[in-house]
């Protein structure tokens, strides 16, 4: 097969009114169609890659002197799908399968590049896939929650797409779960286009870490069920919902301090806040109660309260007690904890070189939460934990405890910071609050599939 110029090949397959009609008809089984409006030829590289797979579906044809640029015989293999009516298929998709969605865009996410990400990399793909979009940009913190709680669901029956980080997704979730028409709101799926400081949710659950892949997943359609957990401030009766994780201790302190550097540093604010908090590390004391999803046969006979055991290494007093109203056996601990993390999925950060996993046994739809307790105090222990975490060795440390739970109650003791983080949002409380983290009996839905 000889190499020929693109102009010569195009001239070869272009229609010439001076040629007889029989010139274009060469067999009863296959005809070389003249490209019409709305059709395009496959690129030569794509044709070569599929050449061996289409042998049975193709025929050879010899075209001699089909134009002035060709002075020799041109032998070619033409696939039966040479002409693709792409524009017509897209037009039919728009007319027959229009998906109406609300797009909530946070212009301050990450490096403030979410506008560019959406309008240059995502919008065109979604339009060609049949999405009818109403785009609203958030103007202040909590604006996404207001939009989700007040929007007419009939205007976006196919979902709400969040452009930003995990924070805007969390606001939309809480807005939907705070509506009066809760049943309808729970059926509304949430789509995510990652463009924020942290996009752990979409990366961990759907395996997507860039906007182009997110647009492709949204265009393909489908849903992914995901558990939803609630963090309740018992004394005030305030409830906040989440999809990724809640945490107390060092990580919550870093989250609070990082807000001072949001505008200047963007995603790097967590690194600076972590270093500063590490250098001035306080002691964290908590009282923790948790309920396992399965009853432990090794627990002692049911009593209201049993004597705890004091460990000199971790300085944690632990024991078990029974909830007389439900008959469930609870485990209680009191002492020093560098961190308390409750994960809804395995929590893999989208940024970072190694992208380590926080809770490797967690699943987003397994009906349980994963509790990680980092016992003790001190910079050396904290440093060892974060180094081991970068290589996914943190669960092998003797002062780290990992357990599946249904519910967790956390109470700060003494002067310990009383804040609790949920999906990158810090919940502030006064005095000595009690935080209760538990799964909801229903699941949410994310747009797209892994």
pTM of the model: 0.72
Residue 245 sits in the same domain as residue 334: yes
Share of the chain above pLDDT 70, in %: 69
**Given this model, what pLDDT does residue 214 score?**
92
**Given this model, what pLDDT does residue 250 score?**
93
Residue 302 sits in the same domain as residue 420: yes
Residue 65 sits in the same domain as residue 94: no
Q: Is residue 127 part of a domain?
A: yes
Average confidence (pLDDT) over 28-50: 44
**Given this model, what pLDDT does residue 417 score?**
78
User: How many residues are given for the chain?
Assistant: 450
Listed in sequence order, the DSSP H helices in 151-232 are 166-177, 182-186, 200-206, 211-220
Rounded Cα gap, residues 2 and 107, in angstroms: 54
Buried/exposed code over 355-379 (b: 16+ C-beta within 10 A; e: otherwise): ebbbbeebebeeebbbbbbbbbbee
**Given this model, what pLDDT does residue 46 score?**
42
Residue 24 sits in the same domain as residue 124: no
* Among 166, 227, 289, 370, the one annotated catalytic: 166
Residue 162 sits in the same domain as residue 241: no
Question: Could you tell me if 163 and 121 are in contact, meaning their C-beta atoms sit under 8 angstroms apart?
Answer: no
Domain that holds residue 21: 6-84
Domain count, the chain: 3
As beta bridge partners, residue 194 has 164
Q: Is residue 414 part of a domain?
A: yes
Determine the distance from the C-alpha atom of residue 135 to the mean position of all C-alpha atoms in its chain, rounded to a whole number.
20
Residue 78 sits in the same domain as residue 93: no
Boundary residue ending a domain (84, 118, 139): 84
pLDDT-derived band at 329, boundaries 50, 70, 90: confident
Residue 302 sits in the same domain as residue 386: yes
Q: Looking at 94-108, 149-163, 244-258, 332-346, which range is the least confident one? A: 94-108
Residue 201 sits in the same domain as residue 239: no
User: Pick the residue with more confidence: 24 or 332?
Assistant: 332
305: Cβ–Cβ under 8 A, 6 or more apart, which residues?
Answer: 319, 321
Here the CATH number for the domain that contains residue 183 is 3.40.50.10330
Question: Taking all residues of the chain, what is their mean pLDDT, rounded to a whole number?
Answer: 76
Q: Closest Cα to residue 364, out of 341, 342, 345?
A: 345
User: Pick the residue with more confidence: 307 or 411?
Assistant: 411
Residue-by-residue DSSP string for 369-415: EEEEEEES-SHHHHHHHHHHHHTT-GGGSTTEEEEEESEEEEEE-TT
**Given this model, what pLDDT does residue 297 score?**
42
User: Pick the residue with more confidence: 54 or 116?
Assistant: 116
Question: Could you tell me if 246 and 230 are in contact, meaning their C-beta atoms sit under 8 angstroms apart?
Answer: no
Residue 391 sits in the same domain as residue 437: yes
Q: Looking at 9-18, 312-321, 364-373, 427-436, which range is the least confident one? A: 9-18
Rounded Cα gap, residues 350 and 348, in angstroms: 6
Q: Is residue 238 part of a domain?
A: yes
User: Pick the residue with more confidence: 369 or 13?
Assistant: 369
Residue 136 sits in the same domain as residue 63: no
Q: Looking at 3-7, 70-74, 233-237, 274-278, which range is the least confident one? A: 70-74
Average confidence (pLDDT) over 212-227: 92
235: Cβ–Cβ under 8 A, 6 or more apart, which residues?
Answer: 429, 431, 433, 434
Residue 179 sits in the same domain as residue 65: no
Q: Which of 94-108, 130-144, 255-269 has the highest mean pLDDT?
A: 130-144
Q: Looking at 32-36, 238-242, 249-253, 416-420, which range is the least confident one? A: 32-36
Could you confirm whether 312 is annotated as catalytic?
no
Rounded Cα gap, residues 178 and 252, in angstroms: 25
Two structure tokens written together for 70? 């060709």
Q: Which of 303-307, 360-364, 431-435 has the highest mean pLDDT?
A: 360-364
Average confidence (pLDDT) over 330-341: 93
Q: Is residue 227 part of a domain?
A: no
Q: Is residue 1 part of a domain?
A: no
Boundary residue ending a domain (175, 191, 221): 221
Rounded Cα gap, residues 72 and 79, in angstroms: 22
Rounded Cα gap, residues 27 and 229, in angstroms: 65
CB atoms within 10 A of CB 130: 20
Q: Is residue 206 part of a domain?
A: yes
Q: Is residue 443 part of a domain?
A: yes
Two structure tokens written together for 54? 């289409």
Rounded Cα gap, residues 197 and 195, in angstroms: 7
Residue-by-residue DSSP string for 258-314: HGGGHHHHGGGHHHHHHHHHHHT----EEEEEEE-SS--TTSPSP-S----EEETTT
**Given this model, what pLDDT does residue 290 score?**
94
Q: How do strand 329-343 and strand 285-291 relate by DSSP bridges?
A: antiparallel
Q: Is residue 216 part of a domain?
A: yes
**Given this model, what pLDDT does residue 196 score?**
77
Residue 253 sits in the same domain as residue 399: yes
Rounded Cα gap, residues 230 and 242, in angstroms: 6
Question: Could you tell me if 350 and 363 are in contact, meaning their C-beta atoms sit under 8 angstroms apart?
Answer: no
User: Pick the residue with more confidence: 216 or 441?
Assistant: 216
Boundary residue ending a domain (163, 186, 221): 221
Two structure tokens written together for 133? 């979009």
Here the CATH number for the domain that contains residue 314 is 2.60.200.40
CA quadruple 168, 169, 174, 180: dihedral sign: positive
55: Cβ–Cβ under 8 A, 6 or more apart, which residues?
Answer: 77
């Amino acid at each position: 097969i000889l190499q020929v110029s693109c102009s010569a090949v195009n001239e070869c397959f272009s229609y010439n009114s001076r040629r007889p009609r029989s010139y274009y008809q060469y067999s009863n089984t296959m005809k070389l169609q003249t490209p019409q409006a709305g059709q395009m030829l496959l690129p030569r590289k794509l044709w070569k890659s599929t050449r061996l797979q289409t042998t049975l579906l193709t025929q050879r044809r010899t075209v001699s002197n089909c134009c002035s640029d060709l002075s020799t015989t041109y032998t070619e293999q033409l696939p039966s799908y040479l002409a693709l009516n792409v524009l017509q298929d897209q037009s039919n998709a728009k007319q027959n399968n229009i998906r109406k969605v609300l797009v909530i865009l946070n212009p301050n996410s990450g490096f403030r590049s979410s506008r560019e990400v959406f309008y240059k990399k995502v919008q065109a793909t979604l339009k060609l896939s049949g999405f009818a979009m109403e785009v609203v940009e958030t103007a202040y913190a909590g604006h996404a929650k207001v939009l989700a709680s007040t929007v007419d669901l009939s205007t976006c029956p196919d979902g709400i797409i969040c452009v930003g980080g995990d924070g805007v997704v969390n606001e939309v979730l809480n807005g939907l779960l705070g509506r009066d028409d809760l049943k309808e709101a729970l059926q509304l799926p949430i789509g995510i286009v990652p463009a924020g400081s942290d996009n752990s949710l979409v990366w961990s659950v759907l395996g997507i870490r860039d906007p182009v892949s997110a647009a492709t997943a949204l265009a393909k359609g489908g849903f992914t069920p995901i558990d939803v957990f609630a963090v309740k401030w018992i004394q005030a009766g305030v409830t906040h919902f989440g999809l990724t994780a809640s945490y107390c201790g060092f990580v919550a302190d870093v989250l609070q301090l990082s807000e001072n550097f949001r505008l200047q540093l963007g995603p790097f604010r967590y690194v600076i806040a972590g270093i500063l908090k590490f250098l001035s590390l306080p002691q964290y004391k908590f009282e923790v109660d948790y309920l396992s999803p399965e009853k432990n046969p090794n627990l002692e006979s049911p009593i209201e309260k049993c004597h705890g055991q004091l460990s000199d290494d971790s300085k944690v007093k632990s024991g078990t007690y029974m909830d007389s109203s439900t008959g469930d056996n609870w485990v209680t601990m009191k002492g020093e904890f560098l961190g308390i993390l409750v994960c809804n999925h395995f929590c893999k950060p989208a940024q970072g070189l190694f992208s380590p996993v926080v809770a490797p046994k967690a699943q987003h739809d397994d009906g349980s939460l994963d509790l990680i307790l980092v016992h003790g105090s001190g910079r050396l222990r904290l440093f060892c934990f974060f180094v081991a975490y970068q290589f996914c060795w943190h669960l092998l440390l003797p002062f780290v405890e990992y357990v599946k739970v249904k519910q967790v109650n956390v109470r700060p003791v003494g002067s310990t910071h009383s804040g609790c983080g949920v999906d990158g949002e810090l919940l502030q409380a006064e005095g000595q609050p009690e935080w209760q983290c538990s799964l909801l009996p229903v699941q949410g839905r994310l747009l797209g599939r892994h």
